[in-house]
């Protein structure tokens, strides 16, 4: 354990260099061409022999042990957000309206660091598969990775990943057993009226005023139809309509998200959205079109892997640095892996000042780069401990047979 921690801390400058390289040149989902090329070059320089492209811009690499055994997989996401960065750092994004404001630049640097650590280790049994995944931000890059076979050749028995958390101090981690993120679905609602002059509203059907009624009514679905002991969020994130201050608009477009932890609540909310919107529109002679865009399912953390993380936390970070937390209403396409194999997804604290405490997706989001070696070390040690469990079990089986 001491070797892993020391090795990681020694590489601090390199981790920062990698992270800032990614940060300066952000690329959106399935467009991570230069990011992918950079990662491939680093992996080859680290001595990996089996490196291949998957899911268009993704990367898969394998570190094989001396003898056969299970394969554990480590994952980092690659894509940036279509936002304008508003920090004043020397390494801020050089690309207009694109920026790493969700920490994927840090995730990639940490996984490269973990790979460096693992290449210096003697792996007796089993394999460690390293994947850099494109298009986490809404484009379900994980599904493409799975479709391109990252769970096979060799078959993967478990997957481990992390996400930076600016609400938690550096040096700490958190994890939520079982369901730890929400279903996240998008909806588009078009309210269709009849346009006309603002001075003669009685000759029109005003979709803006009708939309106001609909938005107010939709908020009551969660407060009055969902069990208060359950969790659900219906958010209106965008409303667009109208062309001039003295004209009634022909239509209004409303967009938002639905977040739940249960499929039953998800289906119930959609049913009442349709029912409520239909009633209001019929009452004012308007029409509507409601479209649901299915999003990510929940991430399911395997409770059997939590003790493994606890041991790693104590060894790398120290005592009392890991906390068990409640689920998040956020979404993460790591969920698609956990639908197929046991998974462990944990949060890494990255805050040490006001500048590193802005929330994810904020234009001023940034991290304490001192957390980079901690992420690299915990990822690497999680993989090693997982394979070590197999070795111990295998030895016990041999002794029992004798």
Which of 397, 324, 401, 383 has the alpha carbon at shortest distance from 119? 383
Scan for tokens 């019929």, then name that residue.
282
First vs last Cα of the chain: how many Å apart? 31
* Catalytic hit among 136, 206, 332, 368: 136
Q: Tell me, yes or no, if 155 is annotated catalytic.
A: no
Under 8 Å between Cβ of 49 and 153:
no
Cα–Cα dist 324/273, whole Å: 35
* Catalytic hit among 27, 77, 79, 85: 79
Q: Indicate the SS3 state at residue 259.
A: strand
Q: In terms of residues, how long is the chain?
A: 402
Which H or E run contains 239? strand 232-241
Region class of 288: left (phi > 0), else alpha (psi between -120 and 50), else beta: beta
Cα–Cα dist 293/5, whole Å: 44
Give the list of residues 6+ apart from residue 314 with CB closer than 8 angstroms, or none: 321, 322
Q: Tell me, yes or no, if 79 is annotated catalytic.
A: yes
Under 8 Å between Cβ of 334 and 134:
no
Looking at beta carbons, which pairs linking 287-292 to residues 24 or more positions away fall under 8 Å? 287/191, 287/192, 288/189, 288/190, 288/191, 288/192, 289/188, 289/189, 289/190, 289/192, 290/187, 290/188, 290/189, 290/190, 291/187, 291/188, 291/189, 292/185, 292/186, 292/187
Residues marked as catalytic: 79, 136
């Amino acid at each position: 354990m001491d070797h892993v921690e020391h090795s990681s801390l020694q590489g601090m400058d390199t981790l920062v260099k990698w992270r800032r390289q990614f940060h300066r040149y952000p690329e959106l989902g399935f467009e991570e061409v230069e990011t992918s090329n950079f990662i491939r070059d680093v992996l080859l320089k680290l001595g990996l022999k089996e490196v291949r492209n998957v899911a268009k811009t993704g990367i898969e690499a394998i570190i094989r042990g001396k003898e056969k055994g299970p394969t554990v997989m480590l994952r980092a996401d690659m894509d940036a957000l279509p936002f304008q960065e508003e920090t004043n750092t020397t390494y801020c994004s050089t690309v207009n309206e694109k920026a790493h404001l969700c920490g994927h630049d840090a995730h990639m640097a940490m996984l490269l660091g973990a790979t460096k650590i693992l290449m210096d280790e003697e792996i007796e049994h089993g394999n460690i598969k390293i994947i850099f995944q494109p298009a986490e931000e809404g484009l379900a890059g994980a599904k493409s990775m799975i479709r391109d076979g990252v769970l096979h050749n060799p078959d993967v028995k478990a997957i481990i990943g992390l996400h930076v958390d600016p609400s938690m101090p550096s040096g700490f981690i958190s994890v939520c057993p079982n369901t730890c993120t929400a279903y996240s679905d998008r909806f588009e609602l078009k309210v269709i009226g009849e346009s006309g002059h603002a001075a003669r509203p009685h000759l029109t059907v005003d979709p803006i005023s009708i939309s106001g009624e609909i938005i107010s009514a939709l908020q009551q679905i969660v407060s009055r139809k969902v069990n208060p002991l359950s969790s659900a969020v219906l958010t209106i994130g965008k409303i667009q309509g109208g062309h001039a201050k003295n004209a009634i608009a022909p239509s209004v477009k409303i967009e938002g998200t639905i977040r739940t932890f249960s499929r039953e609540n998800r289906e119930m909310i959609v049913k009442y959205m349709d029912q409520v919107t239909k009633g209001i529109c019929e009452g004012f002679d308007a029409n509507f079109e409601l479209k649901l865009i299915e999003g990510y399912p929940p991430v399911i953390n395997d409770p059997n892997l939590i003790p493994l993380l606890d041991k790693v936390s104590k060894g790398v970070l120290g005592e009392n640095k890991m906390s068990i937390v409640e689920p998040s209403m956020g979404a993460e396409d790591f969920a698609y892996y956990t639908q197929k194999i046991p998974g462990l997804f944990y949060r890494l604290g990255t805050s040490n000042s006001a500048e590193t405490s802005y929330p994810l997706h904020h234009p001023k989001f940034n991290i304490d780069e001192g957390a980079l070696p901690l992420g690299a070390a915990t990822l690497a040690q999680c993989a090693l401990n997982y394979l070590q469990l197999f070795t111990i079990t295998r030895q016990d089986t041999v002794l029992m047979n004798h």
